[in-house]
Structure 1
Amino acid sequence: RIYIGNLPFSATETEIKEFLGPYDLYYVTVPPHRFIASRNTGFAFVDFKSPEDAAKVIEELNGKTISDRTVFIQLAKPPSERRESRRGAHGGTAAEETPKDVVALAVEGEAAVKSTEMPADLTPRSNDENAPPANSTGKRPQRRRPAHKRGPPKEGIPSTTTVFVANLSYSCTTEKLKDYFGDYSPEWAHVALKRTPAFVLAKLAERGVTPRPPRALGFGFVRFADEETQKKAIAELNGKEFDGRAISVRVAIDSQIEKAKKEENGEVDGDEPAD
């Protein structure tokens, strides 16, 4: 997989494929702009069938132009490496002093000069024996809240008729999903959508900008007549390729299905998309 940056905002998948020429590519991903329908985000990812083709593209096309814009091409980094590089660019490693550490040192220095340090026997104490010890400034460090975990809920009642389908293409629609499961006579299908918040729609309307239609979030649900059909669909389609992507098919949870039905009926706020 390679990364192509500095693309024109009007570049399409077809134009990128023409730019890449005869190389045996597998899939082109051009992330759309979050709110403006006529723009992309200025970069793309391209998957090739062989690492040799990817290396040739980087060697021969890096620095070339598309619509008067000079693009740069490199191997795409895994998400973990991208996070590390961003972390290094905004403050260094964890071993380096943080802004809070610098403030603490400044307070200590000022206190030493003015000789106004609080005696040890007058240091405020907490009645909480489990509270973390105070630092050199006399203040106790704040406890961090556990990070919110995204994804399907762990608790809930497994459905006996509905499946959860993940890793769908962002261009997938409810009709396409239902047609794909057509051999199993689905009774209902739904693709989760990312809707533009109302306040953003208002701002775009003021500027005369056409908002992008709701975008698929990459997962959906399909309901069958009975549990036997549900299990058969899972056994036969889990891991199969659909619209260029290997999908994951598993038993859905009741809370997921309820949220999907609310979204389908327009009851989910655009500021809070379904998980």
Structure 2
Amino acid sequence: MSATATTTENALSNVADIPKGEDGNRVYVGNLSYSATEEQIREFVAPAGGEIASVTLPLRFGRRPAGYAFVTYKNGDDAKKAVEQLNEKEVIISALAEMGDRKVKLEIAKPAEEVAELRKAKDEKRSAAREAAKIVKAEKATVAKEAADAAAVANASKEGETKPKKRKSKAKKPRRRLPGEGEDGEAEDETAVEESSKSASKGRIDAAGDGAEGEKKEKAPRAKKERKPRLELTGEESKNTIFVANLPFNVDDEALATIFTNLSINVKSAKIVKGIRRARPGSKPFRASKGFGFVELENESQQAEAVEKVQGTLIGDRQITAKVAKEMKPIEVEQAVDAETA
């Protein structure tokens, strides 16, 4: 098997988002920089000619770039021509290479069935290695325990029975001198006892509070936090915001933005909507992704293009959906009060 084929198998075995397409029309482009974009890849394969149907940059675990791409041609001959002309072509200090000389690898992408078989074989090999490691570890632990037990028996036979540990004697604390007793425990005169009792009583009153009866001060009531106004849909479409759904739960704000930037879409902000979830009944609740979010674009003119490119993209084992978001506005105070009373 060639080094190029080995590189392809290793890459595909770790990433699930392989684009669909006719066998023989897709070209695998490997050994790329993680910062490579769709426009740069189109520019790289342009000298080979041919009509390109799509360019896809997969993500690892739905979060970071995988370092390779798929270029799907409308004609299988154009795909073969691109591989013949551009495979292992050196890219010198360009956006496709991180630093220095780098050879970009191209080959016809493998069918999904073959990739699944490679993935299955690798998983089985990894599972077998884990089981073998567990057996070796258990055997080592058994041998070590037997050796320790044998050493303990040998030491016990030589030294005999172990001596019981001596208990540490607790030192008696000196008795606290009561009011009215002198240094030697003798009673003081009545005047000293009375003054001592008054002093102790006054100390207790002062510690309890400022008043003579030790009344506690009333705490000031807490200031109520101002609630944010409720929002409602207006039915009007947003000019620069996109609603993205069916996302894997491990996709965060940064990963959501990366999906768009890898498609040469300028993102102003990306926000995953979170809510309270429980891992199982009775467990402690926690905040986690609800599987959808909103992306605000810097350029309104890219909205239609972004929806078309993102719609149907595979992230992990999910095919995400994208559409233009609806505008929202705050509910008036009077309406909110009426809604609560109703």
**Could you tell me the TM-score, scaled by structure 1's length?**
0.37
**Could you tell me the TM-score, scaled by structure 2's length?**
0.31
Answer with 1 or 2: which has the greater Rg.
2
